[in-house]
């Protein structure tokens, strides 16, 4: 791999934009959390009605927190 970098004159460690890294992480976590909502859980059996509201509310709170993190990262640019 080192020969590849030398051949193409690539730096060993490229600097990373922290905002970009946060946006990528937020997007990945958002996708996972969306799958945790009660509707996609049908493959595991029906989620009881009493649990749906609590589950979906907590998952949505986490999604909202992620969106706040992403917005804060964008605003700091």
Give pTM, 2 decimals: 0.71
More confident residue, 8 or 72: 72
Predicted pLDDT of residue 9: 80
More confident residue, 3 or 52: 52
2-42 residue pLDDT tens: 688 788 887 777 667 888 889 999 999 999 999 999 987 77
DSSP string, 43-72: GG-PPPHHHHHHHHHHHHHHHHHHHHHHHH
More confident residue, 47 or 28: 28
Predicted pLDDT of residue 53: 93
| Domain residue extents for the chain | 15-75
């Amino acid at each position: 791999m080192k020969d590849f970098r030398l051949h193409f004159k690539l730096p060993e460690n490229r600097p990373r934009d922290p905002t970009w890294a946060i946006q990528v992480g937020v997007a990945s976590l958002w996708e996972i959390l969306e799958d945790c909502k009660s509707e996609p859980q049908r493959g595991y059996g029906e989620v009881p009605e009493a649990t749906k509201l609590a589950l979906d509310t907590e998952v949505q709170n986490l999604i909202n927190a992620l969106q706040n993190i992403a917005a804060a990262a964008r605003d700091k640019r």
